[in-house]
Amino acid sequence: MTDAAKQKILAKYWDTEVTCPGCGEEIRDSDDLSKVEYVRTKRKTDIFFHAECFGKIWRE
């Protein structure tokens, strides 16, 4: 997924803050999104997290 596509999805959440479930830091659309991953679950929940926090969220 491109950074522009991630920014477009993040723009939907302009009234709430998007936090990384691994570290708890806020993810903004002005951040470097090349290090941010995006997952859309089967229940249509959008999850954004830092690539280095992947191991904290899901076990490999």
Residue 21 main-chain phi, psi, to 5 deg: -70, -15
Q: Which pair of tokens denotes residue 49?
A: 């997290």
Give this prediction's pTM. Answer: 0.81
Backbone phi, psi, residue 35, to 5° = -100, 10
DSSP annotation of 34 reads G
Residues 33 and 6: beta-carbon distance below 8 Å: yes
Range of the domain at 26: 3-57
For the residues 25-40, what does the mean pLDDT come to? 90
Phi, psi angles (nearest 5°) of residue 50 = -75, 145
At 35-54, the pLDDT tens digits run 999 999 999 999 999 999 99
Output the average pLDDT for the chain.
89
Q: How many domains does the chain have?
A: 1
Amino acid 58: pLDDT: 76
Residue 60 has pLDDT above 70, yes or no: no
